[in-house]
A and B are shown apart, each in its own frame.
Chain A
């Protein structure tokens, strides 16, 4: 009954699917980000309080969202790999970690650039900023644990376990720093029922969010191919794939 599941997760199949999907994902990401950038930067109305500076949200919010999203993907892929012994899961986790860390860094940098004109400071020890920073540390921990093992299979499993422990801890860290003190504005888009944002501002943001996710998917496919090739470099199908 589960054989289709395992075939789906076989390295050659994943390699081919990733190769086929990445150009489409990349094109769709370019379209969504292109629309979001043009509409968001040029046509969306100025914020009555923040002026044009609010426009950094079109990069900041999707990056922050993706930073959490890719951590979840990393942990779920690691859990799938640990539980069902599916090797591709480790490859997905390994391919996701640097992407997620980059999104986290991007969210921190854009946030601090926005904070300078708005709050008058590049950095404040605010809950959201602090938990995002801790998220970056968690990524760094996972990324430095994996290569520390001489046996790559062991490094994979150890990193997967650490990512899972981190997932349990992320909400705790988030709420602990939230109760610690607060300056950041509350969520505006998360309330799907009634966004506190006019449509002319919201549509480019949603388009950017979609574009970032597609871009993440495209980069993941490209990195995943490289990971799979490297991990399976001694197998026959890789030799065939590289030759042709």
Chain B
């Protein structure tokens, strides 16, 4: 099997990424469901807490971030699952390209489909939660960095739980504690942007976490996949 045509790392990365994106856009319902979930959860908070705009504005960063974490988690379950079920993942693992390349491509595709679309939707939710327009830049930057980091952390969790029957619950159980620093820095940056203080520190820390997970998580996730696939 491994004696196929050697296409090189970047070409392989591009091919898997292209395939993932194509598959996602062929199933628009799966693409939209996490986004609708994100909208519904953010609607729940004003209904459950208060419709006063001043109070909402104080809650908004936390509400936005918790909803984004949950929505992103929702789509993580399917990151490797369907490919593992029909054997595609094993074929990819045997293709001669390192498993790391495949993990990187699939995780990037997951982020483009779920994380980046959450970022695009955030201004709408931000307006509904009375976040001032001046804070949108920080909010979007923090969400972009945070959802990418979460995709990497989630790839480790999804790799560990891919073969399990109740994998979804355990996935949330193991990924959410690891994602708590993201919530602290992400909501912190948005909060500071709303109150008009300096946001640099929190954003830099989010960036540092993003770089850390970008470099280490692919290896951890492919080790996890190797454990569950074997």
Residue of A nearest to B227 (CB): A157
* B181 contacts chain A at the CB level, 8 A cutoff: yes
Query: Does more than half of chain A's interface fall in helix, strand or loop, or is it mixed?
Result: helix
A166 to chain B, nearest CB (A): 7
B99 to chain A, nearest CB (A): 14
* B22 contacts chain A at the CB level, 8 A cutoff: no
| Contact between B174 and A162, CB atoms less than 8 A apart | yes
Chain B residues lying within 8 Å of A180, measured Cβ to Cβ, are 184, 188
A interface with B by C-beta (< 8 Å): 134, 137-138, 140-142, 144-145, 148-149, 154, 157-158, 161-162, 164-166, 168-169, 172-173, 176-177, 179-180
* B216 contacts chain A at the CB level, 8 A cutoff: yes
Chain B residues lying within 8 Å of A149, measured Cβ to Cβ, are 163-164
Q: Measured between alpha carbons, how far is A134 from B229 in the docked complex, in Å?
A: 29
Query: Does more than half of chain B's interface fall in helix, strand or loop, or is it mixed?
Result: helix
| Contact between B180 and A176, CB atoms less than 8 A apart | yes
Residue of B nearest to A131 (CB): B180
* B28 contacts chain A at the CB level, 8 A cutoff: no
Q: Measured between alpha carbons, how far is A138 from B181 in the docked complex, in Å?
A: 14
Chain B residues lying within 8 Å of A145, measured Cβ to Cβ, are 160-161, 170, 174
Can you sample 6 A-B contacts with CB below 8 Å?
A138-B178, A148-B170, A161-B224, A162-B174, A166-B178, A180-B188
Residue of A nearest to B187 (CB): A180
* B44 contacts chain A at the CB level, 8 A cutoff: no
| Contact between B227 and A158, CB atoms less than 8 A apart | yes
* B38 contacts chain A at the CB level, 8 A cutoff: no
Q: Contacting A172 at CB < 8 Å: which of B160, B174, B181? A: B181
